[in-house]
Structure 1
Amino acid sequence: MVDEYAPPARRLVRPVTFRGVGVHTGADVACVVNPGEDGVRFHRTDTGGTVTASWRHVAATQLQTVIRSDETSVATVEHFMSAMSALGIWAAEVEIDGPEVPILDGSAAPFLAALADASEPVEGGRAVRVLQPVSVRIGRGFASLLPFPSRRFDVGIDFADAAIGEQRALFDFAAGDYGAEVAPARTFGRLKDIKRLRRRGFGRGASLDNAVAVDGATVVNPEGLRFADEFARHKLLDAVGDLALAEAPILGLYRSHRGGHRLNYALLDKLFARAENFQLLPN
């Protein structure tokens, strides 16, 4: 019998500021992450309005996760939320002066380091225990959550690009080191797609400073990869961030193949659609 994992819980003790460019909008943006009482809430200081980081507010999932409430939206929340979830910080008031969370270096590592330094451990906290298997499929991709005593992620990807190919990343929060094994993995894209994506309003802030670019069998970045399987690790990082929109750590086994933001949102929607699928519990 495996003992059930108790996720860590932390609270912010001082504000943290992040500045940078939005990877899709190209807009310069600053966000100040302040201590909060309950939930992670984004306040748009440029336009007014507030939106809570919750699966209930997911408005778009193409190449990013966008949350929206009424006319207020914030895009590309997944890397920030991945770091928050890994640390166990579930309350913050985030003041942001633009439409998109800054991409920084394309990973969760800068978020993780600064947030860890500005927070301290606390006792207690919520968690969501998976009671029944749930799964979703879209085309050739699938994502599932299965009962499991820990927070485990098993992510498979399959790209035609020779530089990426087929990869699998495994991570268990009970045994692994998120900061060393997951957080540094950067977002990525195809060099040949950039002009088309920019015409559609995506990737306007992307560069080799904040993303891994591939061209067939070649990794364009002069420094190369941080891990041999960095692409799969980044998809795992994204999944941690998307599942953080449950507003609590999920105790269960997450599996996906050819997954992404759309599947992750659909999975949360299906998990919470039936009360018998999950149990809310304190740590």
Structure 2
Amino acid sequence: MPTTVKQEIAFVGTGLHSGRPVRMLMRPAATGGIRFRRTDITDRDNMIPARYDLVSDTRLNTRLTNAAGVSVSTVEHLMAALAGTGVWNVVIDIDGPEVPIMDGSASRFVQKIVATGLRHLPGPSRAVRVLEPVRVAHDGAWAEISPAPMLSVGFEIDFADAAIGRQALKLSLVNGVFVRELADCRTFCRRADVEAMQAAGLALGGSLDNAIVVEDAEILNPEGLRRSDEFVRHKMLDAVGDLALAGAPILGAYRGFRAGHGVTNALLRKLFATQGAWTETALDADTARQLPGAGVVESDLRRAS
């Protein structure tokens, strides 16, 4: 069955790039998918559906913009949290242009969603089933998606920085795996990149509290890494969030090499533009029980910590 959250969930944090405080309220919704509502804008349409075709910028984050020019950015970690806990119908009231970065992962979103619980809605659950392989490539990066009974994500990164290096991982994102294996993995960057972004007026809310910062072979965060391969796992988290902009769970195998938000969004656009490459399907009970958010419980959070 389709799902929403049982009750309102409040979040308070800071915008990664603006550095401004953000208040966000996740409200239950019976229909309509996932939608953002800019409460600070009242002179035009302030509702922004979370859809791949509304992605307007993928530099450093994923930004959505509606037909009235109203946007919300840095949506990828929240979208990953929603997909990973099985939430596909909510209205997210937000009082500014950017989702709060929290700790740089999806963990705090996931914690509150799981603690609140889900409400099942009438009707069958629906998903996007991949029927034919689709691939995109750009500037040495690529991503592809191919038919599979459930969503899996495979990713490989290759950085010159000795602290990161080359890492690869593949996970089948059946019930609870996202929460246990990916949700707590933080975004990362080079120290020199942070300095350059802040000089350009970006990443003003960035700190060691919400990102892993590396310099050559050194990890500058005093606490170190949460997982030895946290870097590639965060890239997988980003991919889950960007894929969630399909508007429904995807049944398919995703693979990415050095793929960022732009490549994954290009993959979704090509998938939906390719006749015969996909179909929308109602899920039987057995398949629905294997979706990423199915059966997630609070003990999954403890296992992730």
Which TM class, normalised by the smaller chain length?
Answer: over 0.9
Instruction: Name the structure 1 match of 2:86.
Output: 88
The residue correspondences of 1:141-160 to structure 2 (distance < 5 A) are: 141-160=141-160
Is residue 27 of structure 1 aligned with residue 20 of structure 2? yes
What are the superposed Cα offsets for residues 175-203 of structure 1, whole Å, 9 maximum, x if unpaired?
76221210000001111111211233321
Is residue 13 of structure 1 aligned with residue 11 of structure 2? no
What TM-score, normalized by structure 1, do the two folds share? 0.94
Residues 170 and 121 from structure 1, CA distance in 2 versus in 1: closer, same or farther, beyond 3 angstroms? farther
In structure 2, distance between residues paired with 1:25 and 1:265: 23
DSSP 3-state at the match of 1:272: helix
In structure 2, distance between residues paired with 1:9 and 1:224: 39
The residue correspondences of 1:133-282 to structure 2 (distance < 5 A) are: 133-174=133-174, 177-282=177-282
Which segment is superposed worse, 133-142 or 122-131? 122-131
8 A contact 2:6–2:117 mirrored in 1 = yes
Counterpart of 1:97 in structure 2: which amino acid?
D
What is the aligned length?
276
In structure 2, distance between residues paired with 1:107 and 1:174: 20
8 A contact 2:2–2:120 mirrored in 1 = yes
Counterpart of 1:171 in structure 2: which amino acid?
L
The residue correspondences of 1:47-66 to structure 2 (distance < 5 A) are: 47-48=41-42, 49-66=46-63
Q: Post-superposition shift, 1:125?
A: 1.4
Counterpart of 1:71 in structure 2: which amino acid?
G
Q: Post-superposition shift, 1:109?
A: 0.8
DSSP 3-state at the match of 1:174: coil
Match of 1:120 among 118, 121, 124: 118
Residues 77 and 214 from structure 1, CA distance in 2 versus in 1: closer, same or farther, beyond 3 angstroms? same
Q: Post-superposition shift, 1:221?
A: 0.3
In structure 1, distance between residues paired with 2:247 and 2:114: 19
Higher strand share: 1
What TM-score, normalized by structure 2, do the two folds share? 0.88
Residues 110 and 170 from structure 1, CA distance in 2 versus in 1: closer, same or farther, beyond 3 angstroms? same
What are the superposed Cα offsets for residues 121-159 of structure 1, whole Å, 9 maximum, x if unpaired?
537311000001000000110000011111100010011
Counterpart of 2:106 in structure 1: which amino acid?
A
DSSP 3-state at the match of 1:103: coil
Alignment root-mean-square deviation, CA: 1.3
Which segment is superposed worse, 64-73 or 122-131? 122-131
In structure 2, distance between residues paired with 1:210 and 1:276: 41
Instruction: Name the structure 1 match of 2:286.
Output: none
Any unmatched runs of 5+ in structure 1? Answer: 1-7
Which segment is superposed worse, 160-169 or 171-180? 171-180
DSSP 3-state at the match of 2:231: helix
In structure 2, distance between residues paired with 1:243 and 1:30: 25
8 A contact 2:6–2:119 mirrored in 1 = no
Any unmatched runs of 5+ in structure 2? Answer: 284-305
Counterpart of 2:104 in structure 1: which amino acid?
G
8 A contact 2:144–2:254 mirrored in 1 = yes
Match of 1:105 among 82, 103, 106: 103
In structure 2, distance between residues paired with 1:45 and 1:201: 24
In structure 2, distance between residues paired with 1:55 and 1:201: 27
In structure 1, distance between residues paired with 2:279 and 2:18: 38
8 A contact 2:3–2:89 mirrored in 1 = no
Instruction: Name the structure 2 match of 1:130.
Output: 130
